[in-house]
Amino acid sequence: MTKSMANLLLLITSALWGSGFVVTKIALDAHASAGFINFFRGFLFVVMVLMFFYKKIVKMTFKDFKIGLIAGLLNFGGFITQTIGIEYTTPSNNAFISSIYVVIIPFLAWGIYQKKLPVKSFVSIAFCLLGMMILAGIFNHAITINIGDVYSFICAFFYAASIVYLSYGARETDGSILAFMLAVVQGIGGMFFFFFVEKGQLTTIHWSVAIVPLLYMGIICSFVGQTVQVLAQKHTTATTAGLIMMLEGVFGSIFSVAFGFEAVTVELFVGGMLIMLSLILLEVDFKQIFLRPRNSSESNNITNS
């Protein structure tokens, strides 16, 4: 798989996850709690992975299990701390603080795996963060620090570590096995959170409304989205993966507008354009454009003159 194909697959993953904001909202309105949503998604994710990749999964080695467990714990750590954080802070603060993972990723990649970054990566990150700040409405609201913001900040570290680990530390393990372990940890973690933290009850859920969003999240967002993610991240850099996956928020806003949950705003347009610019800056090879050798005809013209 080429890097361009991997980045395209990650872009598709971001779009799928972005659509998940709308269906998650519908499920929450139908009284499905955050813990139960994670449990249901994880359980369905496990079933789907076993259906398609059971021959590879039964050959899992202890090394595969250990790598998958670490990846699963990091992934679920991001899910659960973000869920807890949004209960105590504003959605805007949560979205911005969580998105700081795009800044943490290059430093983790450099510190752990000695992956150096070109200067343009820092410029891209700056544009991306500015876009996220505008999308989140940070400039229009006063920011106060509370326990929810702390959880959101912890979430950013989990997401950053998860992306770096999947890009570099988990390359030796088959993608289907990694997907299976992500599913198992998400399901068990969601079940634990639902029963022991939320103390939720299934009788309060409006199943006629919630069932389709829950199925969509389990099959499309988790099985398709995360399986494609783990397969693609082995063929691109962690920084690029992080920036592309931040488009999840942009796609979420687009789907939210399309389904009538919010209106089109200047902040949505400007913030989205800045994030897109950051991705373009990251992918363009400026050395090849400005320092490429002149062709023979140009050289002959110069010589003749």
**48 versus 19: which is more confidently predicted?**
48
Confidence band, pLDDT 50/70/90 cuts, at residue 302: very low
pLDDT value, residue 45: 92
Domain span at 123? 3-285
Examine the pLDDT at 229 and tell me if it is beyond 70: yes
Mean pLDDT, residues 90-112 taken together: 71
Nearest to 87 by CA among 245, 197, 217, 247: 197
pLDDT value, residue 201: 72
Mark out the alpha helices in 34-118 (DSSP H runs): 34-57, 62-88, 91-98, 101-113
Examine the pLDDT at 171 and tell me if it is beyond 50: yes
Q: How far is CA 289 from CA 25, 34, 53, 144, in A?
A: 45, 48, 43, 45
**126 versus 144: which is more confidently predicted?**
126
295 located within any domain: no
Examine the pLDDT at 215 and tell me if it is beyond 90: yes
305 located within any domain: no
**133 versus 208: which is more confidently predicted?**
208
256 located within any domain: yes
57 located within any domain: yes
Examine the pLDDT at 5 and tell me if it is beyond 60: yes
Mean pLDDT, residues 218-234 taken together: 86
Angle made by CA atoms 242, 247, 252, in degrees to the nearest 5:
135
| Helix/strand/coil for 305 | coil
pLDDT value, residue 95: 60
227 located within any domain: yes
pLDDT value, residue 296: 46
Mean pLDDT, residues 62-81 taken together: 89
Angle made by CA atoms 189, 195, 198, in degrees to the nearest 5:
95
Mean pLDDT, residues 87-107 taken together: 68
CA 69 – CA 226 distance, rounded (Å): 15
Confidence band, pLDDT 50/70/90 cuts, at residue 237: confident
pLDDT value, residue 281: 72
How big is the chain by its Cα radius of gyration, in Å? 21
The total number of structural domains in the chain stands at 1
Q: How far is CA 259 from CA 95, 112, 215, 253, in A?
A: 20, 42, 19, 10
11 located within any domain: yes
